[in-house]
């Protein structure tokens, strides 16, 4: 039986257990993550939370629709075991009249009409020397040059990270987005999954910072930001290389979260990252422009 449950009807213990034990598990679908990025999310639930499909439903001018929340790359269908095709089709048929949603990489074979979105990941199961030998020539130069500057990796408080972000993010992020990100950091800290790292100069000036979520076997690389000085010192390359060196030989994966932008994509590929695409599904998006989304 498939049920649509509103936020206040969901059994979050059972729901999170499904996500945590699912074949497709992604941190974006956990209840504390969704509570930060889209507080009134709903979910389709099959039987006793054997299969779940979280969905960010909205209503405007009487039209029910779903759009992917910000800072939430992949949702879709999550299951503890293999799901029959008929049941998958029934879940997909429950999507509203208007939607644009990104499903998870484990769903890519179950969606018929899709647009594939790129997502770059780097497996850290080899020794650092082996991983570093896969860096591109430009990446090796950047890391070598970054090491010539007096800089080091250090933890950063949430408050200092947000302040640094506000001062250096430019037009890439507005106040509403920063507020969502702030909630997400708080929830990740409460869940014991947050890592806030910075690169600092010899005089302790912050040059770059990044918010990581460490969940299961992944380090999700969220909202990296550099100052102008940090960009000239290649501080983000210094930080990523440090993360790789400290986690090399483990089962961890760095999840870079994209990107379709060529320069960013090439930057991640430079570290040896490989594409793990995920599907985007949409229907009747022409209506969205009349609704103001």
Tens of pLDDT, residues 35-45: 999 999 999 99
Check residue 234 and give its pLDDT: 98
User: What whole-number percentage of the chain has pLDDT above 70?
Assistant: 96
What's the pLDDT tens digit per position in 253-291?
A: 999 998 878 999 999 999 999 999 999 999 887 666 655
Where are the domains positioned within the chain? 2-115+279-291, 120-275
Check residue 184 and give its pLDDT: 98
> What is the C-alpha separation between 4 and 42, in angstroms, rounded?
7
> What is the C-alpha separation between 25 and 40, in angstroms, rounded?
21
To which residue do tokens 């390359």 refer?
237
**Encoded tokens for 221:** 């690389």
> What is the C-alpha separation between 240 and 208, in angstroms, rounded?
11
Is 195's pLDDT higher than 60? yes
What's the pLDDT tens digit per position in 47-69?
A: 999 999 999 999 888 889 999 99
| Distance, C-alpha 59 to centroid of its chain | 25
Mean predicted confidence (pLDDT) in 71-83 = 94
CATH class of 120-275: alpha beta
SS3 247: helix
How do beta strands 63-67 and 98-102 pair? parallel
What's the pLDDT tens digit per position in 90-122?
A: 999 999 989 999 999 999 887 666 789 999 999
Cα-based distances in Å from 217 to 111, 181, 254: 25, 22, 9
| Distance, C-alpha 237 to centroid of its chain | 19
Q: What angle do CA 55, 56, 57 make, to 5 degrees?
A: 100
* 81 C-beta neighbours (distance < 10 Å), count: 9
Check residue 113 and give its pLDDT: 65
User: What whole-number percentage of the chain has pLDDT above 90?
Assistant: 83
Check residue 29 and give its pLDDT: 98
């Amino acid at each position: 039986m498939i049920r649509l449950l509103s936020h206040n009807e969901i059994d979050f213990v059972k729901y999170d257990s499904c996500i945590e034990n699912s074949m497709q598990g992604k941190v974006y679908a956990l209840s504390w993550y969704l509570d930060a990025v889209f507080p009134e999310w709903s979910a389709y639930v099959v039987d006793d939370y054997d299969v779940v499909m979280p969905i960010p439903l909205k209503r405007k001018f009487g039209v029910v629709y779903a759009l992917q929340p910000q800072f939430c790359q992949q949702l879709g269908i999550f299951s503890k075991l293999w799901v029959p095709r008929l049941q998958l089709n029934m879940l997909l048929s429950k999507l509203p009249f208007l939607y644009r949603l990104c499903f998870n990489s484990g769903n890519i074979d179950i969606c018929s009409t899709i647009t594939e979105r790129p997502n770059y990941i780097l497996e850290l199961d080899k020794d650092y020397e082996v991983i570093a030998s896969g860096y591109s020539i430009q990446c090796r130069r950047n890391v070598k040059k970054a090491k010539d500057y007096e800089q080091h990796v250090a933890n950063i408080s949430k408050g200092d990270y947000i302040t640094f972000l506000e001062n250096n993010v430019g037009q890439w992020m507005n106040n509403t987005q920063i507020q969502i990100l702030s909630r997400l950091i708080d929830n990740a800290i409460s869940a014991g999954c947050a890592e806030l790292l910075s690169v600092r100069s010899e005089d302790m000036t912050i040059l770059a910072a990044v918010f990581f979520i460490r969940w299961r076997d992944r380090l999700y690389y969220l909202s990296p930001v550099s100052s102008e000085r940090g960009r000239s010192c290649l501080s983000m390359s210094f930080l990523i290389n440090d993360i790789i060196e400290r986690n090399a030989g483990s089962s961890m994966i760095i999840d870079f979260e994209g990107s379709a932008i060529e320069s960013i994509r090439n930057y991640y590929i430079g570290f040896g990252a490989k594409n793990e695409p995920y599907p985007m599904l949409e229907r009747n998006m022409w209506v969205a422009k009349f609704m103001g989304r």
